[in-house]
Amino acid sequence: MKETVFAFGLAAALFAGCLASVASAQSSWWKTYGDSLSDIGNAVLQTAEGGYVIGGSTASFGAGVTDVYLVKTNATGEEVWAEVWGDSMPDGGNSVCQIADSGYVVAGYTGSYGAGGHDVWLIRTDAEGDTVWTRTYGGGNGEQGNSVAPTADGGYIVTGYTWSFGAGVADVYLIKTNAAGDTDWTRTYGGTSGDEGLSVQQTVDGGYIVAGVTHSIGAGIADVYLIKTNAAGDTDWTRTYGGTSNDEGHSVRQTADSGYIIAGYTSSFGAGSQDLYLIKTNASGDTVWTRTFGGNLRDWGNSVQPMAGGGYVIAGVTRSFGAGGQDLYLIRTDASGDTVWTRTFGGTGNDAGNSVQSTGDGGWVIAGSTTSFGAGNSDVYLIKTDADGFVGLAEKSLQPQVRSRRFEPTVVGSLPRGAIAFDAMGRRVLHPIPGIYFVREEPQASGHGPQAARRVAVKR
């Protein structure tokens, strides 16, 4: 009978003969940050010295219902410092970028300051997270900043939505500032219904590309909305993508061929009630190809990054696959959008990936939230993977054995009696399904203590 060995999720990273060389070049780990209430990581980037910074919101620390939360870590994910900003009303951070002097700019929203119910909030810090300046933008109703990026002239570009200005219920809001956060210009885009900008980047021609969602134009209830502007924010062209249902664009990046890659979700196409949606366009916004990813439940993409050698990595959420109610979803495609690999991360609760960035060692870092691990209702979730999207063992006592020699798995039909099994994140597994595990066995009768951990593959 042919044996089939299943290597599910993270455990397949520990393939024999490669781990030692990978471990020396690429680190992989996961961490949580926060306290007893709800804390979320919405954006992550690798910093100039090799650590990481995460922008998000916290209900565990600060003065108000939620505050802007900025966490700085070293290269192994250990917290170096954390800062919060806000007051008695809801405030939060949605995006972060690092600037030339190693400081940071965070974009989000504030209900505590500004002109309206809530305003776009831009916070500039130094390299240690201390405030250099803050700015609010908006009118008497409500605004929010969803994405910030540095511009070639040393300023910043911010997108989000506005209820105070524009043509409709809510319009895409684009704000250009100088280096001090003072407004150079603002623009709104949209129709008579609700429209929102969720991601922005400066393009190679000095203009800007904005992705989001429109309820005003397009084929369906909501469509992916792509807006290309010149350097002054005037519209070059707009495009919508989608079908007759709900479709959204959550992240956009310009590609090496001057086209664009957009990640979001579609309820119009795909296998489930909502699938992750990946759209590749040419430089004029015309569709080159589209792909959907997911199962029979809800799945969506929140962040996309092009790869230097071609292909894309997308982070998001899956309710179709994984261990819990929803898991962090990581997908690697080739240049044509075809799947190279997929990974899920999380536990029995609800876990999400909100931002993905490439790292200097060729791996990936993903920020999001977890209710499966950590100290509170939800914690900031930070995962560092190798180039293939794998994470090594979290349990330190097992790591030296994994890295020091070939770790060929022993194929078994069931675990040995009394064996304690751990998955690749160091979590104890009480009821193993087919897959690869690390096991510790009971002490031998001679009393010499537990046997060394070994790797087993439980076959179907």
Instruction: Return contacts of 156-159, CB within 8 angstroms, 24+ apart.
Output: 156/97, 156/105, 156/107, 156/122, 156/181, 157/200, 157/202, 157/208, 158/107, 158/120, 158/122, 158/200, 159/197, 159/198, 159/199, 159/200, 159/210, 159/212
CB of 362 closer than 8 Å to CB of 356: no
- The number of CA neighbours under 13 Å toward the Cβ of 413 is 0
Structure tokens at 88: 């008695």
Q: How many residues does the chain have?
A: 460
- The number of CA neighbours under 13 Å toward the Cβ of 200 is 31
Structure tokens at 256: 């090496």
Please state, in angstroms and rounded to a whole number, the distance separating the CA atoms of residues 326 and 120: 30
Please state, in angstroms and rounded to a whole number, the distance separating the CA atoms of residues 389 and 178: 38
Nearest to 187 by CA among 203, 202, 165: 165
Residue with tokens 């994984």: 322
CB of 162 closer than 8 Å to CB of 138: yes
Could you please report the per-residue DSSP string of 381-450?
EEEEE-TTS----S-TTTHHHHHHS--PPEEESSPPTT-EEE-TTS-EESSPPSEEEEEE-PPPTT---P
- The number of CA neighbours under 13 Å toward the Cβ of 151 is 25
Ordered per-residue pLDDT tens for the chain, 460 residues:
322 232 323 333 322 233 223 333 578 999 999 999 999 999 999 999 999 999 999 999 999 999 999 999 999 999 999 999 999 999 999 999 999 999 999 999 999 999 989 999 999 999 999 999 999 999 999 999 999 999 999 999 999 999 999 999 999 999 999 999 999 999 999 999 999 999 999 999 999 999 999 999 999 999 999 999 999 999 999 999 999 999 999 999 999 999 999 999 999 999 999 999 999 999 999 999 999 999 999 999 999 999 998 999 999 999 999 999 999 999 999 999 999 999 999 999 999 999 999 999 999 999 999 999 999 899 999 999 999 999 974 433 222 222 222 334 566 666 665 565 544 444 445 456 566 555 544 444 434 333 334 455 554 4
> Which residues are registered as beta bridge partners of 109?
92, 120
Sorted by sequence, the CB contacts under 8 Å of residue 67 that are 6+ apart come out as 57, 58, 59, 61, 84, 85, 86, 91, 92
CB of 189 closer than 8 Å to CB of 172: yes
- 26-394: which CATH number, 1.10.10.10, 2.130.10.10, 3.40.50.12240, 3.40.640.10? 2.130.10.10
**pLDDT recorded at residue 26:** 75
Q: How far is CA 205 from CA 97, 186, 198, 309, in A?
A: 21, 19, 21, 22
**pLDDT recorded at residue 417:** 57
pTM, full prediction: 0.82
What ranges do the domains of the chain cover?
1-25+395-460, 26-394
Q: Which helix (H) or strand (E) holds 457?
A: strand 454-458
Which amino acid is residue 384, in one-letter code?
Answer: K
First to last CA, the chain: 12
**pLDDT recorded at residue 392:** 78
Residue with tokens 């751990």: 422
